[in-house]
Structure 1
Amino acid sequence: MEPSNGYLVNDCSAFGLEVFVIKSTGCGETLSMVSVEPAESTHPWEIRNFRNLAYAGSQYSESFTVKERKWRIKICPMGDGSEMGRSLALYLILDKEESPQPNRKVYAKFKLRVLDHRRINHSEKQLSHWFTTKNSKDSEWGSNEFVPLMDLYDPGCGYLNNDGTLIVHVEFAVVSEVN
């Protein structure tokens, strides 16, 4: 160090510290981003006779557990919202019995997939969402434009196998809760 800079005098340095105390009556949040172990990160849902569900409305997988939370997959075979009749819609749902307590949120980073049986061209979307209260739109997240229905039913695209089975997956990367 250069003595003329004033930081070091007779081989000694002096440092000062100013402390401000702020009184707060607010509340705080804590969040730890917890990666999901590979053994529990993927959940497949095999939907047999998918072609027969085309006019049955929304379908739901059985619930499954990831990071001590129960989840479901929702599929709308004929689409949803603005894409009704044009695209398959696919959503991840925080099971309503598992909705966080008021003022708490569950964060999930995940991939939804529709598998191509030939393993050439899976359709996949990586998503993340803060899941919140019961019976709220914030308890589900996904896409209403997942696979165009023309592609879904085209045998050349490979989404439906010969017996009409469709396989969807959800793969979690992170599941965390804000306290």
Structure 2
Amino acid sequence: MIKEPPNRIMTWKIENFSKKDKVLYASQVYVVGELKWKILIYPNGFYNEAPKAISVFLDSVDCIAPDYKIFVDFKLRIRDQINNKHAEERAKHWFSASCNDWGFSQLLSRRDLEDASKGFLVDDTLIVEAEIMVMSTVK
């Protein structure tokens, strides 16, 4: 059954972003349509695939059983806090135990992030969002 879930936007406000020195950061757990999700961010790109970009992924916390799958049509974005011209991509993916996250290795270039006029990093705060448009579960 395909559903448009209520409360489908997950917003993660990351303060002191310039001090983030780990490879990967995960948000708190968000509940959308009774399913649990996290947003994953690689501040310096997804390992060596995108070293000059910020990588953002949606992660299903619930996909642990091998016969359980979730189809999701979703958007990932980094908010432009000044001009309202967000860095945004849309994807459709089947989440499963073998592939429980999906996203974009080059959602935003480091050059655009560091350009203050673009509005992505304001007061050393980055705002990342995931929006689930539609989802369906299969067992």
Residue among 70, 73, 77 paired with 1:113? 77
Structure with a larger share of its residues in helix? 1
- 1:169 is aligned to 2:129: yes
SS, match of residue 127 in structure 2: strand
SS, match of residue 134 in structure 2: strand
Q: Who wins on radius of gyration, i.e. which is larger?
A: 1
CA distance in 1, matches of 2:64, 2:71: 11
Deviation of 1:101 (Å): 2.6
Number of residue pairs matched by the alignment? 139
Gaps of 5+ in 1: 1-31
TM alignment of 1:147-158, pairs within 5 A? 147-158=108-119
Gaps of 5+ in 2: none
SS, match of residue 156 in structure 1: helix
Structure with a larger share of its residues in strand? 2
- 1:43 is aligned to 2:10: yes
Structure 1 runs of 4+ aligned residues shifted over 3 Å read: 81-84
Structure 2-normalised TM-score?
0.94
% identical aligned pairs: 32
Structure 1-normalised TM-score?
0.74
Q: CA RMSD in A?
A: 1.3
SS, match of residue 145 in structure 1: strand
Tell which has more relative contact order, 1 or 2 (C-alpha 8 A, sep 6+). Answer: 2
Deviation of 1:128 (Å): 1.3
CA distance in 1, matches of 2:12, 2:83: 16
